[in-house]
Amino acid sequence: MDLQHWLGRAVEAVNGWSAGFGPFTPHPSHHVGDEEFGAAFADLTKRLQDNYPFFHPRYVGQMVKPPHPAAIVGYLAAMLVNPNNHAREGGPATADMEREVIAELAAMFGLPDHLGHLTTSGTMGNLEALYVARESHPGAGVAYSADSHFTHARMCRVLGMAGHSVPVDLHGRMDLDALEALLRRERIGTVVLTAGTTGTGAVDPVHGALALKERYGVRLHVDAAYGGFFTLLAGQGLFDPRPWEAIPSCDSVVVDPHKHGLQPYGCGAVLFADPAVARHYRHDSPYTYFTESDLHLGEISLECSRSGAAAAALWLTLRLLPATPDGLGRVLLPGLRAARRWAGLLQDSPHLTLFQPPELDIVTYFPSEPTLAGVDAATARVLNAGMAGADPVYVSALRVDGHALTGRHPRLVADAPHARVLRSVLIKPEAGDILEHLHRRLEELAGGRSHPCPVPSSPSDRPPAPIPDP
């Protein structure tokens, strides 16, 4: 689709609708001349050049990419009206679209019943899940893995709940034995399981936690902000489907359409399996909720104003690329395949070492140095040198605990408490297109130039054997 054409058509369509209400004169306080605007616009576009090329396959840094053109056109068309999905009187059309996309996301996870809504972010969705957890299990704490998103601990502080960090295994997944020991010891009401950690894309054993839900009466919340859409590929024999199949048996799940759902920022979603949790949101508003007897979106969310355009963008995108294996599933698959191909290249590399086999589309690796301090310094060097020069490659860094590195790679000398490793998020389906080139470039940056003399010959300097795929 031709983005410029359809952006123009969106403006036309909304103008056509507006014209039906009769002419009026915009207030002169709004007036801006084209010349004046042109100068400011030129400044803006110049300023925007100070950016990383998120759209390009060279960029394999953070989980960022431009939205799908359909999302941009859908967002713009609705934004020209600017509906507020807080309540139906803020915009009935986009409120209905939000309900429809929420139903589609619930179906994607296989939830038999649901209550949910879009949020401005995964963080807000997780906050809501923890808020409902607090209301339904008053006085009890929350457990999340050491590799879970940092905002869980933050939101526990916001909500006045005790947060407990549970150790992870050598794949970055929550250690269920440690969780069970914690459940015996402490008063825990809710366990947060991450389906696709932000750092490595590790998937916690959600299925293994179901038994603990029975045994200890805890709520299970799945933070699938990053990984959620991978559930579409769970039936294809590419990875263990069991954590994904367990999601419908959990109490709540968060997914971020603004990560793998091709949306602009401002689009997260929270879904609850039990619609009766609506009671925890009960409030009255003197301003709104006059247009229908059903619960308004604002009556089942903590936020008030929320973008109706975000719902329109997601709705239009899902019309074209539905949340099915053949729709969005086909958008996610190439990144997953590219991650595995890259892992293979890393396993054969003399200069780079695979940190752990990728579960989803995030690859973690490090320059093959003998010590943690050496790994850390070389990571920083590669990261910065990669972005400079004529053939740039944009990666990111992940700080990991020393024992996470030495546990996976016992030959590394533990001379520092932490080290940064390199991290690449293959969120774009084009990620595989220049993968071999990016890999060679990173090898060059890691090994080529920085070691003019041979590395010392103590056994610890040899690149450790890659760990086998689980």
Ligand X SMILES: *Cc1c(COP(=O)(O)O)cnc(C)c1O
Binding site for ligand X (CB under 6 A): 121-123, 126, 149, 151, 194, 197-198, 223, 225-226, 256, 268
Q: Closest distance between ligand X and the C-beta of residue 196, in Å?
A: 6
Q: Give the Cα separation of 321 and 12 in Å (integer).
A: 24
Q: Closest distance between ligand X and the C-beta of residue 229, in Å?
A: 12
- Output 159 or 278, the one with its CB closest to ligand X: 159
Q: Closest distance between ligand X and the C-beta of residue 378, in Å?
A: 26
Q: Give the Cα separation of 222 and 117 in Å (integer).
A: 16
What are the φ/ψ torsions at residue 254 (nearest 5 degrees)?
-120, 135
- Output 256 or 369, the one with its CB closest to ligand X: 256
Q: Closest distance between ligand X and the C-beta of residue 126, in Å?
A: 6
DSSP for residue 237: T
- Output 194 or 424, the one with its CB closest to ligand X: 194
- Amino acid occupying residue 240: D
- Output 105 or 445, the one with its CB closest to ligand X: 105
Q: Closest distance between ligand X and the C-beta of residue 194, in Å?
A: 5
Q: Give the Cα separation of 102 and 118 in Å (integer).
A: 7
Q: 151: closest CA among 169, 175, 124, 132?
A: 124
Q: Closest distance between ligand X and the C-beta of residue 133, in Å?
A: 16
Closest residue to ligand X using C-beta atoms: 122
| Other beta carbons less than 10 A from residue 243's beta carbon | 27
Q: Closest distance between ligand X and the C-beta of residue 240, in Å?
A: 18
Q: Give the Cα separation of 290 and 288 in Å (integer).
A: 6
- Amino acid occupying residue 56: H
For tokens 């679209």, the residue is 97
Q: Closest distance between ligand X and the C-beta of residue 267, in Å?
A: 8
Which residues does residue 163 pair with via DSSP β-bridges, in sequence order?
142
Q: Give the Cα separation of 365 and 347 in Å (integer).
A: 10
Whole-Å CA distances, 253 to 130, 227, 387, 411: 11, 11, 36, 39
Q: Give the Cα separation of 407 and 467 in Å (integer).
A: 11
**Strand 352-356's sheet: what is its strand order?**
352-356, 362-367, 418-425, 396-401
Q: Closest distance between ligand X and the C-beta of residue 326, in Å?
A: 25
Q: Closest distance between ligand X and the C-beta of residue 202, in Å?
A: 10
- Output 198 or 349, the one with its CB closest to ligand X: 198
- Output 191 or 345, the one with its CB closest to ligand X: 191
- Output 197 or 368, the one with its CB closest to ligand X: 197
- Output 228 or 367, the one with its CB closest to ligand X: 228
Q: Give the Cα separation of 360 and 252 in Å (integer).
A: 21
Alpha helix ranges (H) inside 288-353: 308-320, 328-347
| H/E run at residue 362 | strand 362-367
* Structure tokens that stand for 23 in this block: 């002419």
- Output 195 or 323, the one with its CB closest to ligand X: 195
Q: DSSP secondary structure string, 420-464?
A: EEEEEE--SGGGGGGHHHHHHHHHIIIIITT-SSPPP-SGGGSPP
- Output 197 or 356, the one with its CB closest to ligand X: 197
Q: Closest distance between ligand X and the C-beta of residue 122, in Å?
A: 3
- Output 75 or 226, the one with its CB closest to ligand X: 226
* Structure tokens that stand for 99 in this block: 């309900």
* Structure tokens that stand for 447 in this block: 């090994």
